Amino acid sequence: MIDTYLVADVGGTQIRAALFPTDDSTPLKIVRTPTQGEGIPPLDRLLDLLASIWPSFGRVTAIAVAAPGPSDPYEGIVFEAPNIPGWKNIPLKKHLQERFKIPAAVGNDANLAALGEWRFGAARGHNHVVYLTVSTGIGGGVIIDGKLLLGVRGLAGEMGHITVMHNGPLCGCGQRGHLEALASGPAIARWAAEQVAQGAPSALAKISPLTAREIARAAAENDALAISALNRAGMYVGIALADYLHIFNPSAIIVGGGVSRSGDHFWEPMQTALRTHVISDAYLQDLLVARAALGDEVGLMGALALAQSVGQSCICSRHPNAG
C-alpha cells in the first residue's frame, strides 16, 4: 500500500492536479483541465479533477491546493481570485474536506511558490528566504526561520504592492506607484507602448498587441527601446529587493516568473539596483540571488510542501467519497 498526497494548482486558464507518494517528490500522475468552460463551475472542475486521480492502490493522507489571489490559509477561504469569475469568499478547504473526508489545506499560490522553492528548488538549505515572482502580476513569499510568513490573517507576502514611485502609474489594485504597476509584464508593455506612441524609434512599433515576451525577443535583437524597458523594470525590482533585504534580512533571494527569464537586460540592472540601494554591505554578505528553479511546476511543488506539513499528523482515507 502506498501513501500519497493529492495536490492542485489553480490558475486563471487551467487547473493542474498531481498525485505524489509521501516519500518522494516525483509525481505519480499529473492531470489538467481548463479552469472554465462547458457550463461547469471552476470549483466543481477542481473537485472532479482531484477525484479523477484518486489512487486505487493506496490511500491519500492530505490534500493541498494553491489558489490565486488573497486567501485565509487558516480557514482555507479564497477571498477573491483574479481571472476566475465568481470566486469570491470561497470556503475551499471546507469543500475539499466535505468531498474527500480527509485533512485539506489551501494557500496563496505565490506564498506556496516560495515554500516550494525553499523545500525543493533554488533556496534549499536556506532558512531565511525572500521569493519574488515577476510575471503578469508580481507576488511572492517569505520564509523566516524555516517557516512561511503568513501574518495574522494570512495576507502577508504581497510583495508586488509596495510603493516604489510616489504618484506613479496606477496599479490594478487601485493604488499608485506599486512595484506591480512598474515592473510586471503588462507594465513593461504599457511603458514601451507609451514610448512608441511618443515617437521613440523601435521595431516594437510594428507589434500589436505588445507583450513583455515580444519585448524580450526584441531586446535579444538589440532593440534599444526594448532594452530600456527591461532595464527599467529590472531597476525597480532591484530597489524593491533592497527594501526586502532591510526588512527580512534573508540569506537567499529567489526571483521567478516569466519576466525574470527575459535575460541579462532585466537581471543585471536588478542586481545593480539591489546593491546600490542597501544601507550596508553586511546585507549582501553570503547572500544568494538566484533564478527560480522549479519553473511551471512551482505551484504543484508548493502545494506538495503544504500537503507534507498537513499530512504528517493526519487521519487517512482510502476513498474519496466523490459522490
Q: What is the pLDDT of residues 130-161, one digit of tens each?
A: 999 999 999 999 999 999 999 998 999 999 99
Residues 132 and 280 in one domain: yes
Q: What is the pLDDT of residue 320?
A: 45
Q: What is the DSSP letter of 118?
A: H
Asked if residue 184 is part of any domain, the answer here is: yes
Confidence tier at 323 by pLDDT (50, 70, 90): very low
CA angle 305/129/283 to nearest 5° reads: 175
Confidence tier at 42 by pLDDT (50, 70, 90): very high
Q: Is the pLDDT of residue 204 over 70?
A: yes
Asked if residue 320 is part of any domain, the answer here is: no
Residues 66 and 209 in one domain: no
Confidence tier at 54 by pLDDT (50, 70, 90): very high
Residues 46 and 138 in one domain: no
Q: What is the DSSP letter of 260?
A: G
Tell me what percent of the residues of the chain surpass a pLDDT of 90.
86
Using DSSP, state whether 137 is helix, strand or coil.
coil
Q: What is the pLDDT of residues 286-297, one digit of tens each?
A: 999 999 999 989
Q: Is the pLDDT of residue 314 over 90?
A: no
Element (H, E) at 289: strand 288-291
Asked if residue 97 is part of any domain, the answer here is: yes
Residues 137 and 103 in one domain: no
Distances 202 to 263, 269, 288 between C-alpha atoms, Å: 19, 21, 36
Domain that residue 63 falls in: 2-112+298-311
Q: What is the pLDDT of residue 311?
A: 58
CB 187, CB 137: distance < 8 Å: no
At 67, list the grid cell.
Answer: 489558489
Dihedral angle of Cα 140, 145, 150, 156, to the nearest 10 degrees: -50
Using DSSP, state whether 6 is helix, strand or coil.
strand
Indicate which CATH number applies to the domain containing 60: 3.30.420.40
Q: What is the pLDDT of residue 312?
A: 63
Asked if residue 321 is part of any domain, the answer here is: no
Asked if residue 132 is part of any domain, the answer here is: yes
Mean pLDDT on 299-313: 87
Residues 158 and 93 in one domain: no
Using DSSP, state whether 35 is helix, strand or coil.
coil
Asked if residue 61 is part of any domain, the answer here is: yes
CA–CA dist 258, 212 (Å, integer): 9
Residues 12 and 138 in one domain: no
CA–CA dist 124, 126 (Å, integer): 6
- Nearest Cα to 235, choosing from 262, 214, 279, 266? 266
CA–CA dist 112, 299 (Å, integer): 7
Q: What is the pLDDT of residues 63-102, one digit of tens each?
A: 999 999 899 999 999 998 877 888 899 999 999 999 999 9
Residues 188 and 244 in one domain: yes
Q: Is the pLDDT of residue 181 over 50?
A: yes
Q: How far apart are the first and last CA of the chain?
A: 24
Q: What is the pLDDT of residues 165-177, one digit of tens each?
A: 999 999 988 999 9
Residues 58 and 187 in one domain: no
- Nearest Cα to 117, choosing from 311, 261, 301? 301
Pairing outcome for strands 138-144 and 129-134: antiparallel
**Tally of domains in the chain:** 2
Using DSSP, state whether 89 is helix, strand or coil.
strand
CA–CA dist 61, 44 (Å, integer): 21
Residues 173 and 210 in one domain: yes
Asked if residue 176 is part of any domain, the answer here is: yes
- Nearest Cα to 60, choosing from 22, 116, 29, 10? 22
Residues 195 and 161 in one domain: yes
Q: What is the pLDDT of residues 94-124, one digit of tens each?
A: 999 999 999 999 999 999 999 999 999 999 9
Residues 279 and 306 in one domain: no
Q: What is the DSSP string of 303-316?
A: HHHHHHHHHTT---
Q: What is the pLDDT of residue 272?
A: 98
Mean pLDDT for the chain? Answer: 93
Q: Where are the alpha helices (DSSP H) in the chain?
A: 42-52, 92-100, 109-120, 179-183, 185-197, 212-220, 224-248, 264-277, 298-311
Tell me what percent of the residues of the chain surpass a pLDDT of 70.
96
Dihedral angle of Cα 311, 314, 316, 320, to the nearest 10 degrees: -70
Asked if residue 118 is part of any domain, the answer here is: no
Residues 129 and 208 in one domain: yes
